[in-house]
Amino acid sequence: MYKVKYTFTALQPIFTGADEDFGTERKLIRERVIIKNPIVIKSKFKNEFDRRNAILKVLKNIWKNIDMSTMSNSRIMGIYDEFASKLLASTCVQTKYQFLNEMCYKFGIRSLNDEEIIDILNNFPDEEFLTTIRYEHQYLILLLRRMNKEKIKLENLFDEKIEQVEDLIFTKNYESIPLIQGNTIRGELRRIAMYDFFKTVGITKLSKIKYHQYFTGGQLSSMEAIDIDVKEEEIKNCPMLGLFGSAIGNMTIEGELLVSAARPKCKEHGNGELSYWELLGKRFQTRLDSSKTERDIEIVGADIDITTQMKYEYEVFNKGTQFEHQFVLRTENPIIVSAFNHMLKLFTENNFIAGNSARDMGEIDLTELKQFIDEEESKKYINYLLEHKEEIKNYFNKDE
């Protein structure tokens, strides 16, 4: 077994492309990390009702400052859905004050006019305020709906009697820390390595089945049986297949390469000085219906009444973020070891990961990784391909 553990640095913002919708924004994939020392806070509120009541006062003040006179009827009809989405997205910050800024920014609110919000926020630690909204945002929206519909006061939202709690304790046992998934990196490396393989041996034509087998991992099927001899023949004619694996017929070739997730070096992981929140940034793009402005081509067909431009935001790792990453090779097969070294070399030459590389994103510094590459081993792989070039081409052409 051969392990390569190294650190790389973002030279451009990084967006994984494998995102999750968190309200109206796209968020980096996160993993739950158990905190060594859980956060335990004695709440200043007597019970959960009082805590929700306090948060609702903040939300109500934001709501009444939204200028709905400039909104279309369709947007007003969906305003609660929009509020819920932006509420949830705004909790992906480090402090309650940043949350307030986010909500006001998203709705174009220049200032709030209820100074009671200051006292309310001062009664909340950041974790208690943000986590309560994350966990209860749908319920809070329902309460806001009822309050607006029935024009009732906050104190009368519940009919049942609320029991006093002697000590209302807030506990947080984990953090949700973003990462770059190992599968994302592995997929990038597979495409780079396979493209290099076919270019080196001079194969320029592949069936769709073969393409997916080599470039995307293949598809399982019960139509045919694959035996061990066929598996060895496949790896012999494409050593990279032994490295990355694939699905062929009803059989899976298990790759010898393990690719870990790339995790940011941060205070929460115990290997950095900054909180992971300080490593995150936001970008936005606009989608425009260019058919509306096309001059040289006549656009025919139905003119559908849709929004022609849409602004959307997504979360990125900031330039300068450092990541810990690891490769593990589980075989001592000489040709696969050689292919592994060549793959690392290709990675340093094609040092982009994740999504939106065409938009000034994803470039990383792999200087530290270079010290693990055995150049002589890498050459053995290339020499093997050149030596067996005709044999490999004949193997691929036999099924064409």
- Evaluate whether residue 315 is within a structural domain: no
Residues 52 and 123 in one domain: yes
Range of the domain at 241: 2-17+180-261+320-397
Exposure letters 362-397 (e unless 16+ CB within 10 A, then b): bbbebeebeeebeeebbebbeebbeeeeeebeebbe
- Evaluate whether residue 28 is within a structural domain: no
Residue after which a domain boundary falls, among 158, 177, 196 = 177
Residue 400, SS3 per DSSP? coil
Q: What distance lies between CA 96 and its chain's CA centroid?
A: 24
| Radius of gyration, alpha carbons of the chain | 28
- Evaluate whether residue 384 is within a structural domain: yes
- pLDDT at position 248 is 73
Q: Name residue 354's amino acid.
A: A
Residues 42 and 119 in one domain: yes
Q: What pTM did the predictor assign? A: 0.76
Residue after which a domain boundary falls, among 177, 207, 227 = 177
The tens place of each residue's pLDDT in the chain, 400 residues long, gives 889 999 999 999 998 865 555 556 677 888 888 887 788 889 888 888 889 999 999 999 999 999 988 888 888 888 898 898 888 888 888 899 999 999 999 899 988 888 888 999 999 999 899 989 988 999 999 999 888 887 655 554 444 444 555 678 888 888 889 999 999 899 999 999 999 999 999 988 888 888 888 888 766 555 555 566 777 888 888 999 999 988 776 677 888 999 999 999 998 898 988 888 889 887 776 554 444 444 555 555 555 444 444 556 788 899 999 999 999 999 999 999 999 999 999 999 999 987 766 667 889 999 999 999 999 999 999 999 999 999 999 888 876 5
- Evaluate whether residue 312 is within a structural domain: no
H helices within the chain, ranges in order? 48-64, 73-77, 79-90, 96-106, 116-122, 126-150, 182-201, 208-215, 228-237, 239-244, 334-349, 367-370, 375-387, 389-397
Residues 85 and 138 in one domain: yes
- pLDDT at position 334 is 93
Residues 97 and 195 in one domain: no
- pLDDT at position 307 is 45
**In which residue are the tokens 């992981």 written?**
269
Task: Characterise 75 by phi-psi region: left (phi > 0), alpha (psi -120 to 50), beta (else).
Answer: alpha
- Asked if residues 141 and 63 have their Cβ atoms less than 8 Å apart, the reply is no
Residues 337 and 243 in one domain: yes
- Asked if residues 283 and 225 have their Cβ atoms less than 8 Å apart, the reply is no
- Evaluate whether residue 95 is within a structural domain: yes
Domain count, the chain: 2
- Evaluate whether residue 141 is within a structural domain: yes
Residues 86 and 117 in one domain: yes
Residue after which a domain boundary falls, among 112, 147, 177 = 177
Residues 12 and 43 in one domain: no
- pLDDT at position 159 is 43
Residues 154 and 199 in one domain: no
Residues 210 and 123 in one domain: no
Residues 326 and 235 in one domain: yes
- Evaluate whether residue 26 is within a structural domain: no
Residues 110 and 95 in one domain: yes
d(CA 256, CA 244): 7
- Evaluate whether residue 291 is within a structural domain: no
Residues 213 and 344 in one domain: yes
- Asked if residues 377 and 345 have their Cβ atoms less than 8 Å apart, the reply is no
